[in-house]
Amino acid sequence: MWVEPFNLALDAPLSTAHGGITERRGFLVGVDAADGTEVGLGEATPLPGWTESYENCRAVLDTAASDDGAQPDPAATPAAAHAVELARLDARGRRESTPLAAICRHEAFGDADAADTDAEPIPASVPVNATIGDGDPETTVRAAESAVSEGYDCLKLKAGSRPVDRDIVRVRAVRDAVGDDIALRVDANGAWDAATARRAVMAFADLAVDYVEQPLPADELAGHRRLRGLGVDIALDESLAEASLSAVVDSDAADVVVLKPMALGGPLRATRTAAAAREAGIEPVVTTTIDAVVARTAAVHVAAAIPDVSACGLATGSLLAADLAADPVTISDGAASVPTDGGLCGAGFDALGR
């Protein structure tokens, strides 16, 4: 196993609940068979607040590389675990001429055979949402209209940095501008208290918002449960970095869970989490952690492995000023194409290998 660091600048600084992001530092991880016929590539791009630190990730990957590719602990170092699991799955997919999505669906959802042509087919593309930043109403409407003109029929609006009444005005302005046929989601990144969140959810119900993502801080599962049933679904994102899916299920806290393969420890672990969520009556949505092209491609495969998945947050490549390689996934008319070659994208990333 080999490990190589990379550093990618963002096209523009991005504000998140855990602070501003200006770059993404991570590691490519490769596994090679003794005869050189099976090559797999993985990516670890840690994001503090979601995963281990960059330094911890590097130390664990270096240890794994010197210990015959030992699997890192996904609970302690999920980004490192993601890289190693992905590299091995990519190698397996290339060896078996089977796309990563088919392997993940077979392992998580129990299709008869990952390459069985009689099983439910992996889709050619998966729906994706456009993410609209937390600007003033006029800026928000312009961005929403631009996204709709590009073919998106699902928009996620960032919220929570201003008084809630202003966010309600922003969301109403977008609804008026794009009409009733466009799905709207609102992401508060845990910014509200219980009273504010309840006010927002009840107002958004009148605007036919599909779901509100993380209205309360991550550890407030009981508070999220009390927000359910008010006319807008409740989605949990940051809470999954604090609690397990089983804790979310036991708390009856969510209608939707937002799954980040990098934060969960690997594409197969993410797909299995999606299957468990479905079993519990919770809908899964897949998003990236502003990853480089290798992990983004893996996240597309994870989304494709989930039958009838709803729009996912996978159109994030444009946030980077430059990338590691050409993207094998195209974003068009609100959908991301799913690579059909073995593993991630067949030999598409061979230039990144040693």
pLDDT digits (tens, 9 = 90+) for 136-183: 999 999 999 999 999 999 999 999 989 999 999 999 999 999 999 999
Strands ordered across the beta sheet of 335-337:
125-127, 335-337, 331-332
pLDDT at 118 over 60: no
For 130-150, the DSSP string reads EEE-S--HHHHHHHHHHHHHT
pLDDT at 134 over 50: yes
Domain 2-97: which CATH number of 3.30.300.90, 3.30.390.10, 3.20.20.70, 3.30.565.10: 3.30.390.10
Q: How far apart are CA 223 and CA 202, in angstroms?
A: 15
pLDDT at 112 over 50: no
DSSP 318: G
Residue 275 C-alpha from the chain's centroid: 15
Tell me if 277 sits within 8 A of 285, measured CB to CB: no
* Three-state SS at 12: strand
pLDDT digits (tens, 9 = 90+) for 293-352: 999 999 999 999 999 999 999 999 999 999 999 999 999 999 999 999 999 999 999 999
Q: How far apart are CA 101 and CA 217, in angstroms?
A: 32
Average pLDDT estimate for 207-220: 97
pLDDT at 64 over 50: yes
What is the predicted pLDDT for the residue at 254? Answer: 98
Strands 130-132 and 154-158: parallel
Q: How far apart are CA 211 and CA 204, in angstroms?
A: 9
Mean pLDDT over the full length of the chain: 93
Residue 106's pLDDT band (boundaries 50, 70, 90)?
very high
* Three-state SS at 5: strand
Which H helix or E strand runs over 13? strand 2-16
The amino acid at residue 314 is L
Question: What kind of fold does domain 125-345 have according to CATH?
Answer: TIM Barrel (3.20.20)
pLDDT at 114 over 50: no
Average pLDDT estimate for 225-243: 95
As annotated, the active-site residues are 158, 260
Q: Which two tokens stand for residue 181?
A: 């046929």
pLDDT digits (tens, 9 = 90+) for 316-326: 999 999 999 99
Domain ranges of the chain: 2-97, 125-345
Tell me if 235 sits within 8 A of 190, measured CB to CB: no
Q: How far apart are CA 306 and CA 158, in angstroms?
A: 25
